[in-house]
């Protein structure tokens, strides 16, 4: 079973490729969309059962591949089915059939017709196909995204058929041919149960705040008395009770947290091996600070920064002051 925080991290990373996902409407609408997406994908990948430990809704993201996966799921049409390729359900939405693999691959820029198992083996591609399915109208049905954010208005015929804006229509979009139109269905009830369960997690994490000195913060940070699912495992804060300061370790390097700007979502930190009462005191050898792994994802506006110390100054480099008598020539440059 995949950790909820890993799932959220993958969603955040891949959502950047889909304009509007989780960013449409007010805060309540955005939360509703994320809860609906998690609920539907949790049902699709569930490994729970009615009497499962911690309840059936604790068993989300258990199966990345369809359990009975010996079917080709190939229909004649635009998209071919090369020999040996099977298009059974894979990924958060259990993407199935050659035409779905073909369209999804075309839109995200990956050849999934020839490489369908990438949906199961590559986490980024897997979640891109899931968000693609969520954002894309399915046949004559609207997109799940448009339904949940209130951008879909049913026609008179759709209203007569019982299609009203809400979570139920999304179930119909995803698997209505099998689960809808014939009375109560345990699968529909399971999807509803997963939709309700995130609110319980929210209530548990809402008041669990990390506090140390002048720092008071919740998600996405973990640490302190917060439950593991209430924060990202790679953003764990710890409190130095002796100095009453907050510390964090990122990619193997320890930092002191100077402050956190909630509105701008900026974490200001200083490497412990660089500072002493606010003064600059680099030591030899100095280890590079590299923020290129989870949960940090460099974007197009990021640039490498190089710090040069105890060296000949250069007019091409910008000098900045450093309160250290041993290292007068300190420069900074980018590449």
Q: All domains of the chain, ordered by start, with CATH?
A: 4-205 (1.10.530.10), 213-289 (no CATH), 303-335 (no CATH)
Those residues whose C-beta lies under 8 Å from the C-beta of residue 76, and which sit 6 or more positions away, are none
- Is 229 among the catalytic positions? no
Give every residue of the chain whose pLDDT is below 50, as ranges. Answer: 315-317, 319-320, 324-325, 327-330
Judge whether 98 and 82 are in contact, CB under 8 Å: no
E runs forming strands in 99-220: 210-212, 215-217
Q: Which two tokens stand for residue 206?
A: 């809402």
pLDDT for res 327: 47
- Residue 164: predicted pLDDT: 87
Predicted local distance difference test score (pLDDT) of residue 103: 97
pLDDT score, position 286:
57
On whether the pTM is more than 0.75, the answer is no
Query: For the segment 169-204, what is each residue's pLDDT rounded down to a tens digit?
Result: 999 999 888 888 788 888 888 898 888 776 566 666
In the set 44, 177, 227, 294, the catalytic residue is 44
Q: How far from 268 is each of 79, 111, 175, 283, 307, CA to CA, in Å? A: 50, 41, 46, 21, 18
């Amino acid at each position: 079973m995949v950790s909820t925080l890993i799932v959220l991290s993958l969603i955040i990373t891949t959502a950047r490729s889909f304009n509007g996902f989780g960013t449409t409407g007010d805060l309540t609408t955005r939360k509703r969309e994320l809860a609906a997406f998690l609920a539907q994908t949790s049902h699709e990948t569930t490994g729970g059962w009615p009497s499962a430990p911690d309840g059936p809704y604790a068993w989300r993201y258990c199966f990345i591949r369809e359990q009975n996966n010996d079917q080709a799921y190939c229909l004649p049409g635009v998209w071919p089915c090369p020999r040996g390729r099977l298009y059974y359900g894979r990924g958060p939405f259990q993407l199935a059939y050659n035409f779905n693999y073909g369209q999804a691959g075309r839109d995200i820029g990956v050849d999934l017709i020839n490489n369908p198992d990438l949906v199961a083996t590559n986490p980024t591609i897997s979640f891109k196909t899931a968000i693609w399915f969520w954002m894309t109208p399915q046949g004559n049905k609207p997109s799940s995204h448009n339904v949940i954010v209130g951008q879909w208005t049913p026609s008179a015929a759709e209203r007569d058929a019982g299609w009203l804006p809400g979570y139920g229509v999304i179930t119909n979009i995803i698997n209505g041919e099998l689960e809808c139109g014939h009375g109560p269905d345990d699968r529909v009830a399971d999807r509803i149960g997963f939709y309700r369960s995130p609110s319980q997690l929210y209530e548990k994490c809402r008041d669990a705040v990390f506090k140390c000195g002048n720092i008071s913060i919740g998600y996405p940070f973990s640490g302190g008395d917060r439950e593991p699912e209430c924060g990202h495992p790679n953003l764990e804060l710890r409190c130095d009770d002796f100095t009453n300061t907050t510390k964090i370790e990122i990619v193997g390097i320890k930092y002191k947290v100077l402050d956190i700007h909630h509105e701008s979502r900026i974490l200001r930190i200083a490497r412990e091996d660089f500072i002493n009462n606010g003064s600059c005191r680099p030591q030899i050898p100095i280890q590079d600070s590299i923020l290129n792994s989870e949960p940090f994802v460099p974007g197009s506006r990021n640039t490498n920064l190089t710090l040069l110390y105890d060296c000949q100054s250069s007019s091409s480099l910008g000098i900045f002051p450093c309160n250290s008598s041993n290292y007068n020539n300190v420069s900074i440059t980018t590449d």
